[in-house]
Amino acid sequence: MNPFENTLKQLKSHFDSGLTRPLSWRLNQLQQLQRFLTENEKSLLQALKSDLNKHPSEARLTELQFLQSDIKQTIKALPKWSKPRKVGNPLLAWPATSQLIPEPLGAVLILGAWNYPLQLLLAPLIAAIAAGNCAVIKPSEHATATADLLAHQLPDYLDNAAIKLVTGSVTESQQLTALPFDHIFYTGGENAAKAIMASAAENLTPVTLELGGKSPAVVLADAPIQVAARRIIWGKFLNAGQTCIAPDYVLVEDSVKEPLIAAMQHELISFYGEDPQHSSDYGRIIHQQHWQRLTQMLEGENVVVGGDSDKSERYIAPTIVDGVKDGSALMQEEIFGPILPVITIKSAADAIEEIRRHPKPLALYVFSNNQRLLDLFTQQVSAGNVCYNDTLMFMLNDELPFGGVGRSGMGRYHGKWGFDTFSHLKPVMTRSFRFDVVLRYPPYSKLKDKILSWFSH
């Protein structure tokens, strides 16, 4: 018997009681989550430092403040989001009213990731609560300090009959995904996503998959090189490169390649000093297996900046690699670490061709002052998210959905988009008894056909 079978039964029973549907319950749980983040900030920052060596300022920006902002916006907008949404009616259905009524899905499963172990677990939970669902949440076992803190503290703040936190490894994740949840929300890698989809298919459970991919940063010759370098370096080496939307590689026009590399090296020193290993602002690789994978990817490559590492500290220096060949391991899969390949291109068209050789990326970054060229990328490159002349910053806009396309993911969330992901927008039409469209009833005739045809046009 699946050890979590009773957990799901209890959640579904609680959901059926209707206790999670009122707006008052949803708002209360969001406020409680807000309290948890505020009252445990110091402990949460220490846990993130232990797991990933995140500087408190970085952790606040990318984890705690992100979540606080999400909760604040959700609380403000929830009364509007949860209202029925009126839509029009065709003439043949008149008189009638039609609307979309948001209703919660039921009991959902949220599987978090280790690279942003707070944000990537609790942001989907915010949306699930806002929509009125019950939930099982499972933090990543790799971010052990954060997972332990969540397991010991978060239940004190939330309705434990509706929201249950489960810890464990891959085994527990497999047991959970085998159950007939009403939705599964997963953030992580492609291989695990395939297994989750296969498991979910047994129960026809819908899934949201937030994955990754090789997100390019394109630098065209007309871009301000120093600004482009600064923004690429920040986006790439934040959290030691362990960000799903980090620039995975750089495509740069040949006339500005050398100035760009020099500018990026300058920015690295500006951010982390001459010795990043002793910088309190620079993170660490999550575990030894990932450290080993990344250092092996560097073997035989032309390292022009960085390249040194320390296994005992799970440290890999911010590294820039030039002259990467097509068959290089660095170009076969998402790097997900502090290694930045630089590839020379001749033009924007050349960059587009190179990007389209790979699966659709989660993010696309292009640096240029030429709007015509930016429009060309918009039209010809499919990506989950696009940001011109910067990196990562689109994540701050609650009005933009976040999600992948193709192998970089399916489904989207953040703000209203997350609310809709965890809701069923139930179509409801109510017709009047006072008028009937008799033309629809048999027996049919040519005259009826003509009249109905006129209505349809």
pLDDT tens for the chain, 457 residues: list them: 899 999 999 999 999 999 999 999 999 999 999 999 999 999 999 999 999 999 999 999 999 999 999 999 999 999 999 999 999 998 888 899 999 999 999 999 999 999 999 999 999 999 999 999 999 999 999 999 999 999 999 999 999 999 999 999 999 999 999 999 999 999 999 999 999 999 999 999 999 999 999 999 999 999 999 999 999 999 999 999 999 999 999 999 999 999 999 999 999 999 999 999 999 999 999 999 999 999 999 999 999 999 999 999 999 999 999 989 878 999 999 999 999 999 999 999 999 999 999 999 999 999 999 999 999 999 999 999 999 999 999 999 989 999 999 999 999 999 999 999 999 999 999 999 988 888 888 998 888 888 878 877 6
Same domain, 386 and 419: no
Q: How high is the pLDDT of residue 313?
A: 97
Which of 244, 253, 301, 387 is flagged as catalytic? 244
**Residues β-bridged to residue 85:** 100
Here the CATH number for the domain that contains residue 309 is 3.40.309.10
Same domain, 167 and 222: no
φ/ψ of 207, rounded to 5, equals -130, 150
Same domain, 423 and 384: no
Same domain, 42 and 161: yes
List, in sequence order, every beta strand (DSSP E) within 133-228: 134-138, 163-165, 183-187, 207-210, 216-219
Q: Single out the residue in 373, 396, 419 at which a domain terminates.
A: 396
Same domain, 185 and 238: no
Same domain, 177 and 83: yes
Is-catalytic flag, 387? Answer: no
The pairing of beta strand 96-104 with beta strand 107-111: unpaired
In the sheet with 96-104, reading across from the earlier edge strand, the strands are 85-87, 96-104, 423-431
Q: Which residues contact 249 (CB under 8 A, 6 or more apart)?
A: 214, 216, 217, 324, 330, 331, 335, 340, 341, 342, 343
Buried b (16+ CB within 10 A) or exposed e, 300-339: ebeebbbbebeeeebbbbbbbbbebeeebebbebbbbbbb
Q: Which residues contact 307 (CB under 8 A, 6 or more apart)?
A: 298, 317, 319
Q: Domain range for residue 107? A: 4-211+408-429
Q: Is residue 329 included in any domain, yes or no?
A: yes
Tokens of 263: 């500018």
Tokens of 31: 């406020």
Residue closest to 49 by CA, chosen among 40, 59, 37, 39: 59
Same domain, 226 and 287: yes
Here the CATH number for the domain that contains residue 101 is 3.40.605.10
Is-catalytic flag, 274? Answer: no
Q: How high is the pLDDT of residue 92?
A: 84
Q: Which residues contact 435 (CB under 8 A, 6 or more apart)?
A: 94, 95
Q: Is residue 451 included in any domain, yes or no?
A: no
Same domain, 273 and 154: no
Q: What amino acid occupies position 286?
A: I
Same domain, 150 and 56: yes
The pairing of beta strand 409-410 with beta strand 207-210: antiparallel
Q: Is residue 227 included in any domain, yes or no?
A: yes
Q: Is residue 443 included in any domain, yes or no?
A: no
Counting Cβ atoms within 10 Å, is residue 359 exposed (0-12), middle (13-18) or buried (19+)?
A: middle
Same domain, 52 and 181: yes
Write out the H or E segment, with its range, that includes residue 111: strand 107-111
**∠ at Cα 109 (137, 99), nearest 5°?**
125
Q: How high is the pLDDT of residue 325?
A: 86
Query: How many domains is the chain built from?
Result: 2
Tell me the residue length of the chain: 457
> What is the rounded CA–CA span in Å between residue 397 and residue 395?
6
| Cβ neighbours around 342 below 10 Å, total | 22
Q: Is residue 115 included in any domain, yes or no?
A: yes
φ/ψ of 183, rounded to 5, equals -165, 145
> What is the rounded CA–CA span in Å between residue 98 and residue 101?
10
Q: Is residue 129 included in any domain, yes or no?
A: yes
Same domain, 161 and 276: no
Q: Is residue 456 included in any domain, yes or no?
A: no
Q: How high is the pLDDT of residue 46?
A: 98
| Cβ neighbours around 26 below 10 Å, total | 22
Which of 58, 210, 301, 334 is flagged as catalytic? 210
Same domain, 246 and 354: yes
Q: Is residue 434 included in any domain, yes or no?
A: no
8 A C-beta contact, residue 423 and residue 105 = yes
> What is the rounded CA–CA span in Å between residue 76 and residue 226?
39
